């Protein structure tokens, strides 16, 4: 049904609108389907090229959604445009609202202890119909305890914030412990909890969110070198195609 995928340097992205995607998620939740969402940005596309095991995990996910304007630009440049950018953060918010609407069970995993605690509080306050069945920070030694807890609590949605590729490796390994929608959400809880601010709407509209994050967290500069590397590879690929 939604296997219309666009290959960007080896990562196969779904090509649908955010509205269609949300409809699929609603159906999945109603059916208690077991689904895995990954949200690659250019950095993840590059990591997948270097690590074939990670690439398999990403491409075998049920939904591979384009997080980051670089993916949309790359797709357009290769002559295979993708409808629109769909971020992990917006997907996290949609899933929590859907859980509130449908009174579903949610489990949160990852981020620093105070961040995940604040995220849990926010859910309890702002989404009172969500059945928050548990949460755990992302700095654990024994993952088996967490997996046991998840399998016992039977969440409908599991939000995993361990950063990439840790979160995708974790989900791929343990997704059968609950028939849930599983998603790797990176640093989303830092923003969701109010610990870090997301860029103002105008900055988001101008596609400069990456610059905002860089100014706020200059240590991200190392990671940002992924963008020019990625654009170079896109240009090479374009020439090969042309
Ligand atoms: N993190 C974690 N456990 C770890 C490493 C990272 O829980 O062992 C969390 C970290 O606290 C942060 C998130 O994973 O909340 C990764 O954030 P980052 O900004 O790197 O993710 P991005 O959104 O850029 O992928």
For 131-145, the pLDDT digits (tens) are 999 999 999 999 999
pLDDT at residue number 12: 98
Express each pLDDT in 2-50 by its tens digit: 568 999 999 999 999 999 999 999 999 999 999 999 999 999 999 999 9
Pocket test for ligand 1, best of 187, 193, 212, 218 (most atoms within 8 A of CB): 187
Residue 11 within a domain: no
Q: How far is the CA of 237 from the centre of ligand 1 (A)?
A: 31
- Count how many domains the chain has: 1
pLDDT at residue number 220: 87
**Beta carbons within 10 angstroms of residue 33's beta carbon:** 15
Asked whether residue 63 carries a pLDDT value surpassing 70, the answer given is: yes
Distance CA 151, CA 148 (A): 5
Residue 164 within a domain: yes
Residue 54 within a domain: yes
Residue 6 within a domain: no
Task: Answer yes or no: is the C-beta of 140 below 6 A from any ligand 1 atom.
Answer: no
Average pLDDT over residues 207-212: 89
Task: Answer yes or no: is the C-beta of 161 below 6 A from any ligand 1 atom.
Answer: yes
Residue 16 within a domain: no
Asked whether residue 192 carries a pLDDT value surpassing 70, the answer given is: yes
Determine the structural domain holding residue 57 and report its residue range: 31-241
Average pLDDT over residues 155-179: 98
Average pLDDT over residues 72-100: 97
| Residues 66/40, Cβ–Cβ less than 8 Å | yes
Minimal CA–CA distance to 46: which of 38, 54, 57? 54
Task: Answer yes or no: is the C-beta of 186 below 6 A from any ligand 1 atom.
Answer: yes
Q: Which residue has the higher pLDDT, 124 or 197?
A: 124
Residue 169 within a domain: yes
Residue 150 within a domain: yes
| Residues 13/45, Cβ–Cβ less than 8 Å | no
> Could you tell me the two tokens for 221?
């500069």
Average pLDDT, the chain: 95
What is the β-pairing status of strands 157-161 and 181-184?
A: parallel
Residue 1 within a domain: no
């Amino acid at each position: 049904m939604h296997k219309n995928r666009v290959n960007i340097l080896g990562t196969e992205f779904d090509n649908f609108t955010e509205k269609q995607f949300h409809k699929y998620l609603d159906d999945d939740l109603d059916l208690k389907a077991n689904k895995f969402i990954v949200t690659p940005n250019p950095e993840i596309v590059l990591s997948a090229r270097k690590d074939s095991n990670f690439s398999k995990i990403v491409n075998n996910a049920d939904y591979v959604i384009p997080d980051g304007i670089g993916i949309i630009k790359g797709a357009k440049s290769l002559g295979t445009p993708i409808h629109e950018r769909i971020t992990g953060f917006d997907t996290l918010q949609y899933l929590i609202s859907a859980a509130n609407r449908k009174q579903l069970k949610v489990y949160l995993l990852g981020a620093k202890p105070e961040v995940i605690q604040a995220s849990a509080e926010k859910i309890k306050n702002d989404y009172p119909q969500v059945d928050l069945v548990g949460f755990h920070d992302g700095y654990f030694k024994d993952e088996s305890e967490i997996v046991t807890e998840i399998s016992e609590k039977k969440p409908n949605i599991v939000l995993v914030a361990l950063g990439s590729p840790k979160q995708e490796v974790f989900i791929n390994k343990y997704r059968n412990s609950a028939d849930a929608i599983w998603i790797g959400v990176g640093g989303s809880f830092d923003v969701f909890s109010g610990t870090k601010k997301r860029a103002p709407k105008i900055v988001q509209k101008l596609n400069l969110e990456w610059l905002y994050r860089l100014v706020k967290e200059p240590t991200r500069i190392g990671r940002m070198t992924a963008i020019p590397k990625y654009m170079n590879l896109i240009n090479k690929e374009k020439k090969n195609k042309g």
